[in-house]
């Protein structure tokens, strides 16, 4: 069956890296004998500046009705300093589509990419499952006496039983489905005695339902410490929205930087959205120099989500090969342009896999 992909390239380098992600996605699908229909949407800064429209009215309903998955590039433009259009679109999708599980793999694709001494690919291969719809991101709060020396600013941290239960359950199920044996929950319950005490209680409630998964807990500060000291101990990490945001950047730095970090915003019962972790990098926009591998690896996650796991594996193999052979953009030491990296990966997949694709794997 033809899968329908909504493509929102967004702003800045989002436009260039998404083009390459689509190129590689289509190459893998073609080799695998699948048809993917990509439809582009021009939501982003230009449209917002022109028409004052960020996420158009009815957009979420349309996406749910007409698409199987969303690919997002990046949002952000210096001409819109409060990022209002970016927040409307990104948070509009995350909250509006209830994309409660933010999957952020931390996987080393080549030993030369890690800043850690004496660590190899076998030491860095875990997934952060970040809660994506509540916590400190709910925008509840307010100011009192704003702009004066007496100002009070409140920012509420919302943790609901439903929200905590479903993300921890998702993480256990994810571990099980992906052959992972260890799940670590991280919070700050030693200081946050209400909200994160709830995380403790829910984790204790769910762990016995997954006797095949070894469950563990670390406070978030210790997790940050341990991620650098001994990252091999982790397989799946589940944590709240804000902590997940922070440790996923730390994780990205351990495996080569934001230019290589993919992510998925998943609603297991509905439409999901995939986006690289990096931003729109206005400084590099339009120069064909941005590293497209984060977006391409994101496209790989998207393929996996659509059930095309063989094609997803090809994308990752191609990315690994490009890094090993130095066929990368300058940030990773290569000399290729953004579009040349995409071409290289697409050609790699087309040249390497036709003979290998097994008919029984076809859907
Ligand atoms: C991320 C980003 C966003 C977040 C920003 C742009 C609001 O940092 O996806 O990690 O905090 O979720
Ligand atoms: Mg972030």
- Does 105 lie in the same domain as 40? no
Average pLDDT of the residues of the chain: 96
In a 10 Å sphere around its CB, with 0-12 CB exposed, 13-18 middle and 19+ buried, how is residue 171 labelled? buried
- Does 158 lie in the same domain as 138? yes
* Window from 82-96, 128-142, 153-167, 347-361 with minimum mean pLDDT: 347-361
Which residue lies with its CA nearest to atom 12 of ligand 1? 245
Query: Which member of 68, 77, 245, 304 is catalytic?
Result: 245
Please tell me the pTM assigned to this model.
0.95
Q: What is the pLDDT of residue 354?
A: 67
Give the model's confidence band at 355: pLDDT under 50 very low, under 70 low, under 90 confident, else very high: very low
Q: Which ligand is nearest to the CA of 89?
A: 1
- Does 278 lie in the same domain as 227? no
Q: What is the pLDDT of residue 1?
A: 73
Which residue lies with its CA nearest to atom 7 of ligand 1? 87
The tens digit of pLDDT for each residue in 252-266 reads 999 999 999 999 999
- Does 250 lie in the same domain as 147? yes
- Does 109 lie in the same domain as 128? yes
Closest CA to 71 of 116, 100, 37, 104: 37
DSSP labels for 67-93?
A: -SEEEEEE---TTSTT-HHHHHHHHHH
Rounded distance between C-alpha atoms, residue 336 and residue 329, angstroms: 5
Domain count, the chain: 2
Cβ neighbours, 10 Å, residue 72: 25
Cβ neighbours, 10 Å, residue 351: 10
Closest CA to 298 of 5, 31, 66, 42: 5
- Does 164 lie in the same domain as 54? no
Residue 114 lies in domain: 101-266
Closest CA to 257 of 104, 76, 114, 103: 114
Query: Among this protein's residues, is 188 annotated catalytic?
Result: yes
Residue after which a domain boundary falls, among 219, 249, 266: 266
Ligand 1 atom closest to the CA of 275, numbered from 1 = 9
The tens digit of pLDDT for each residue in 185-212 reads 999 999 999 999 999 999 999 999 999 9
Residue after which a domain boundary falls, among 266, 289, 311: 266
Q: What is the pLDDT of residue 131?
A: 98
Rounded distance between C-alpha atoms, residue 169 and residue 173, angstroms: 6
Query: Among this protein's residues, is 249 annotated catalytic?
Result: yes
The tens digit of pLDDT for each residue in 276-324 reads 999 999 999 999 999 999 999 999 999 999 999 999 999 999 999 999 9
């Amino acid at each position: 069956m033809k899968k329908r992909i909504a493509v929102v390239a967004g702003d800045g380098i989002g436009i260039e890296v998404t083009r390459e992600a689509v190129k590689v996605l289509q190459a893998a699908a073609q080799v695998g004998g699948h048809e993917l229909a990509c439809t582009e949407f021009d939501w982003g800064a230009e449209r917002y500046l022109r028409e004052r429209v960020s996420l158009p009215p009815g957009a979420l309903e349309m996406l749910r009705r007409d698409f199987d998955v969303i690919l997002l590039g990046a949002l952000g433009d210096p001409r819109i300093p409060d990022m209002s259009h970016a927040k409307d679109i990104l948070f509009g999708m995350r909250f509006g589509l209830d994309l409660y599980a933010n999957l952020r793999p931390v996987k080393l694709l080549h030993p030369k990419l890690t800043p850690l001494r004496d660590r190899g690919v076998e030491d860095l291969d875990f997934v952060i499952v970040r809660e994506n719809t509540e916590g400190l991101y709910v925008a509840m709060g307010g100011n009192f006496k704003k702009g004066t020396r007496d100002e009070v600013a409140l920012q509420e941290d919302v943790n609901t039983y439903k929200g905590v239960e479903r993300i921890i359950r998702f993480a256990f199920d994810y571990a099980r489905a992906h052959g992972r044996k260890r799940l670590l929950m991280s919070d700050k319950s030693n200081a946050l005695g209400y909200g994160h005490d709830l995380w403790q209680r829910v984790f204790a409630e769910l762990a016995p339902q997954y006797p095949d998964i070894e469950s563990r807990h670390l406070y978030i500060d210790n997790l940050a410490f341990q991620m650098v000291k001994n990252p091999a101990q982790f397989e799946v990490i589940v944590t709240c929205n804000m902590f997940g945001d922070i440790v996923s950047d730390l994780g990205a730095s351990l495996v080569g930087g934001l230019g290589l970090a993919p992510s998925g915003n998943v609603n297991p019962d509905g439409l999901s959205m995939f986006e690289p972790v990096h931003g729109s990098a206005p400084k590099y926009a339009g120069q064909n120099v941005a590293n497209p591998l984060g977006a391409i690896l994101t496209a790989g996650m998207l393929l996996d989500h659509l059930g095309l796991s063989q094609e997803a594996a090809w994308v990752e193999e191609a990315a690994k090969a490009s890094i090993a052979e130095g066929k990368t953009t300058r940030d990773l030491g290569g000399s290729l342009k953004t579009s040349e990296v995409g071409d290289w990966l697409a050609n790699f997949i087309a040249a390497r896999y036709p003979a290998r694709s097994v008919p029984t794997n076809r859907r």
